[in-house]
Amino acid sequence: MADPLEMLRATIRSAADALRDGASDSVAPTLERPPKPELGDYSTNAAMLLAPAFGQAPREVAERLREELDARLAGSVERVEVAGPGFVNLFLADRWHREGLAALLDAGDAFGRGTPDRSERVLIEFVSANPTGPLTVAAGRGAAYGDALARLLELAGHDVEREYLLNDVGGQVRRFAESIAARMQGREPPDDGYRGHYVAELARDLAAGADPADLDRLARGGTEAMRARIEATLERFGVRFDTWFSERSLHERGEIPAAIEHLRARGHVYEREGAIWLRTSEFDDDKDRVLVRSDGEPTYFAADIAYHRDKLERGAERMIDPVGADHHGYVPRMRAAIAALGHDPDQYEAPIMQFVRLVEGGERARMSKRKGEFAALDDLIDDIGVDASRFFMLQRSHDTALDLDLELARRQSQDNPVYYVQYAHARIASILRKAVAEGRAAAAADGGAADEAALAQAARADGALAAPAEPAERALVRQLLELPAEAGGAAERRAPHRLVAYATASAADFHAFYRDCQVVGAPEGVEQARLAICVAAKRVIARTLDLLGVSAPERM
């Protein structure tokens, strides 16, 4: 579809280019909402960016730009004004709002979908918690973030694969097997073992067919059982992976020595003191890193290099690995390894996930039915539900610590932000059902809900769509039209929390529209236009919630 806001941005850019006429480098002006409604619907800083090249005061350049935009946007703006130090403020006409609403309705499910200059094959590896215990709330934040980011990148036009790395070998898996064996024999697990109640459950489940002395078999059986449990929790949470990649498979296929030999052939490996080292310091790491210890054991870093080499060989053009804050120092060495493999280190991204703390009554809450052993994601879902869990986890930027207020998340009121947004969607559905009940809209084939497609089509037929004239109508239409830019920006910046803010603002604008504008029973023409606005708002809010992995209920 022709994105009305992007067309407005393009007009501003072309007007700025016409003014500079080669006198300066091209500028990238912003288009933003002014802080006060009386300053217009949108404002641009283009004149202030151009002024230095012209050697003129920004307001003088702004006046020239005002004249240029007035001519180029004739019919789409009521007026263009210069304000402050050189801002150019646009007051959009009713016609622009009508045409924007029509474009949104015409786009249907395609509204918000991006067309990137170059579509990439993106592999997002996220969660990847060790299969030695149930998923924690912290892992849940990573799941909510990774899945929302994957949805945003798909909407932006990229080919996205979701992957979970199963760390099913190594010291932690051996300790897990030893803990199961101890429980099978009626003993306490070792001091560095796993003591959760789930270990005793696994010991009972595995007792019939396993010898406590066969640690390898216990390791396989235990990690397979935990993988199934983790997958069930994630399925419940609305997160599905395309690939479950076993770290064990790297060892069994000889991928780790193969990766080391590849690095050696490229001249980046050397031996010292019986160990094998990678010259990561040549690629902006602070020091070289060990690949194989002097006892012949490969390091976790070596396995991770082999894993990312495998990703690249499978065709990944961009690898996004959200990691915990404790892995912050790991990122430079991994980028160095990607470069040493012969690839662009910018193909690798590692958003840093900060911790989440559960709060109740202003104090830290214990969220476990299992003797307070850990904050389990399943327990959080049992308490506040999937929708609240995902929405609250995505409210803040992933690199900011999050306090999740359990009392607020439980409330069935508009104080609860997810309830507030979902209620807007349900209220729209109620308005449309009322329109059907009063014979003002056709019912869908499956019952009392409105035929939204027919409503949208009827509103546009023969110019029947009245131009939104009330301030609340116009504000809502502009807000809805910002979805493509908001979703695209959230994908580009790897920032799903921006969409939470957008959903909340969209709900607020709808609630204001509902308060100020009668829909069913409004004058002829106006009623159809407002029903069309309701259809558009319902679609946008539902799409936004879906990108966050949150449901859009028809009734509440």
What H or E segment, with its residue span, contains residue 160? strand 159-166
Q: For 81, phi and psi rounded to 5 degrees?
A: -130, 150
H-state helical runs in 207-269: 215-236, 247-252, 255-265
Give pLDDT, residue 459: 61
Give pLDDT, residue 82: 97
- At 360 the three-state DSSP class reads strand
Residue 24 to residue 34: CA distance in whole angstroms: 27
Say how many residues make up the chain. 556
Residue 83 to residue 35: CA distance in whole angstroms: 12
Strand segments, DSSP code E, in 265-406 are 269-272, 275-278, 289-292, 318-320, 323-324, 348-349, 352-353, 356-360, 363-364, 402-405
DSSP class of residue 213?
T
CATH class given for the domain over 4-92: alpha beta
Give pLDDT, residue 341: 98
Give pLDDT, residue 481: 98
CB-based contacts of 403, cutoff 8 Å, min separation 6:
356, 357, 359
Residue ranges per domain, the chain? 4-92, 417-547
Residues in the chain with pLDDT values less than 70? 1, 22-25, 366-374, 445-449, 458-465
Give pLDDT, residue 55: 87
- Whether residue 40 contacts residue 96, with contact meaning beta carbons closer than 8 Å, is answered with no
Angle between helix 483-492 and 471-481 (nearest 10)? 40
Amino acid letter at 170? G
Q: Could you tell me the fold of the domain covering 417-547? A: Isoleucyl-tRNA Synthetase; Domain 1 (1.10.730)
Q: Which two tokens stand for residue 544?
A: 């936004």
| β-bridge mates for residue 125, sequence order | 163
CB-based contacts of 476, cutoff 8 Å, min separation 6:
468, 509, 510, 512, 513, 533, 537
- Whether residue 124 contacts residue 163, with contact meaning beta carbons closer than 8 Å, is answered with yes
Give pLDDT, residue 371: 41
